[in-house]
């Protein structure tokens, strides 16, 4: 195996093992920032030694042992946490891969809890949503700051600062490395789900930049969601988020042309929707029904996505049911955006005039003042009502608000189509 091959192997091992490694170390040292530093030190050691010694049979255990030794050195130098230092110092040295050390056994026994603690810590509400997303991708996704920066289209120093500040905040506020209990667990779980869905949404419909979708972010969010679902299989909203993401992701290949131009739902080739992802999403919804009669926000949104997935076309979609699901969603999660989506469903079920009444009631909502989809939806309904001059103005306003290049171009095309319709009338 060449040095290049070994480096590629190390990169692959890091992506697989880093979250487990950081989680196990954080449990020992009770500091997420220090745990990541120790894990990174172990990675550097592997890059130095493996090209000469070869990749060990159990690379994850090797990295953990190297990080443990580094932890002992740091704790000794800084004289921190004497009790933990003594506990670590008495653990056995690294053993061959066919012999399980006490450390490996301890980590394997508690690995689920460790990962769950790491997820809850990285997504703590004390951090901003942007910081939580960056830290989650860093610690649980194994992404570099450069990869995260490119994913969110912000400068790398910005992402680096967010991550550094997030780790400092967790340390300064002495956020415990634990899975909270009772009501606090529910509140923190909502934060965890919010972060994972934020990452998915940025991939499904990019806020800005030249690409409308970024499948790699969707895949990363789904991977994190599956980890969480494996650790909390009885949580209906965790399953609800997984169902929502998988059904939505099933459409990715049909959402753009070969050149990256957006394809809206009515024009998508549904034969290109991924049946395996749809099946997995629907199966998750079935599990939710067995666990709970009540449906939370993610389960309701997954049910809406399921209506689309089951329909062969836009015309055969059960729009009245979708409108009812949005009404139920608005009851438990009131939001102008939810109302805007409900207006679209009502327009499909009862005609554009009925939808326009609901949209017009949202025009003065402060939260939607700079939301490009409000004039976009209004323009679509006005166009369907043959009010092309008004529709053109709405599409032009939507284009001026859109930050994504592809989406802006699509809205400009729709405004031009309205101008053409006016000239022909």
For residue 199, the model assigns a pLDDT of: 87
User: Would you say residue 97 has pLDDT above 50?
Assistant: no
338 located within any domain: no
Dump pLDDT digits (tens) for 44-74: 888 888 888 888 888 888 888 888 888 777 7
Mean pLDDT for 273-299 is 94
Domain boundary among 46, 77, 110: 110
Q: In this structure, what token pair is assigned to residue 187?
A: 């509140």
303 located within any domain: no
Domain range spanning residue 375?
A: 370-425
246 located within any domain: no
Per-residue DSSP letter, 262? B
Dump pLDDT digits (tens) for 187-213: 788 888 988 998 898 889 888 778 889
225 located within any domain: no
Tokens 């409000």 sit on residue: 374
User: Would you say residue 280 has pLDDT above 90?
Assistant: yes
Domain boundary among 60, 92, 110: 110
Q: Name the phi and psi angles at 209, rounded to 5.
A: 100, -170
53 located within any domain: yes
Domain boundary among 110, 138, 160: 110
- Our count of domains for the chain comes to 2
344 located within any domain: no
178 located within any domain: no
Model pTM? 0.76
125 located within any domain: no
Interhelix angle 236-249/297-310, rounded to 10 degrees, is 30
Distance CA 178, CA 48 (A): 34
For residue 52, the model assigns a pLDDT of: 84
For residue 85, the model assigns a pLDDT of: 53
Strands (DSSP E) found in 78-123? none
DSSP three-state, residue 333: coil
DSSP three-state, residue 112: helix
Residue of 206, 281, 227 lying closest to 249 (CA atoms): 281
């Amino acid at each position: 195996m060449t040095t290049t091959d070994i480096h590629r192997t190390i990169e692959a091992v890091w992506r697989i093992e880093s979250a487990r490694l950081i989680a196990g170390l954080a449990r020992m040292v009770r500091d997420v920032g220090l745990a990541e530093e120790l894990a990174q030190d172990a990675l550097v050691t592997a890059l130095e030694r493996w090209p000469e010694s070869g990749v060990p049979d159990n690379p994850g255990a090797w990295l953990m042992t190297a990080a443990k030794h580094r932890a002992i050195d740091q704790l000794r130098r800084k004289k921190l946490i004497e009790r933990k230092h003594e506990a670590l110092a008495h653990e056995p040295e690294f053993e061959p891969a066919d012999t399980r050390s006490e450390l490996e056994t301890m980590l394997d026994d508690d690995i689920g809890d460790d990962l769950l603690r790491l997820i809850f810590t990285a997504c703590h509400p004390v951090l901003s949503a942007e910081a939580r997303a960056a830290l989650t991708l860093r610690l649980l996704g194994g992404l570099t700051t450069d990869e995260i920066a490119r994913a969110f289209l912000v400068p790398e120093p910005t992402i680096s600062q967010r991550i550094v500040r997030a780790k400092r905040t967790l340390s300064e506020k002495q956020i415990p490395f634990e899975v909270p209990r009772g009501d606090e667990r529910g509140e923190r779980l909502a934060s965890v789900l919010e972060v994972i869905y934020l990452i998915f949404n940025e991939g499904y419909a990019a806020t800005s930049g030249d690409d409308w979708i970024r499948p790699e972010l969707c895949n990363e969010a789904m991977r994190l969601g599956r980890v969480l679902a494996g650790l909390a299989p009885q949580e209906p909203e965790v399953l609800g988020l997984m169902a929502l993401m998988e059904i939505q992701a099933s459409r990715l290949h049909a959402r753009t042309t070969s050149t990256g131009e957006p394809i809206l739902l009515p024009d998508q080739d549904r034969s290109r929707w991924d049946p395996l992802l749809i099946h997995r999403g629907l199966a998750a919804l079935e599990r939710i029904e067995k666990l709970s009669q009540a449906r939370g926000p993610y389960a309701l949104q997954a049910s809406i996505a399921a209506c689309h997935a089951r329909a062969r076309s836009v015309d055969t979609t059960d729009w009245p049911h979708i409108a009812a699901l949005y009404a139920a969603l608005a009851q438990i999660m009131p939001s102008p955006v939810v109302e805007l989506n409900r207006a679209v469903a009502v327009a499909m079920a009862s005609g554009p005039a009925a939808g326009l009444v609901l949209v017009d009631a949202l025009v003065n909502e402060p939260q939607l003042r700079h939301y490009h989809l409000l004039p976009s939806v209004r323009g679509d309904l006005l166009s369907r009502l043959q009010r092309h001059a008004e529709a053109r103005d709405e599409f032009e306003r939507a284009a001026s608000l859109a930050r994504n290049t592809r989406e802006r171009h699509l809205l400009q095309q729709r405004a031009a189509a309205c101008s053409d319709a006016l000239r022909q009338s």
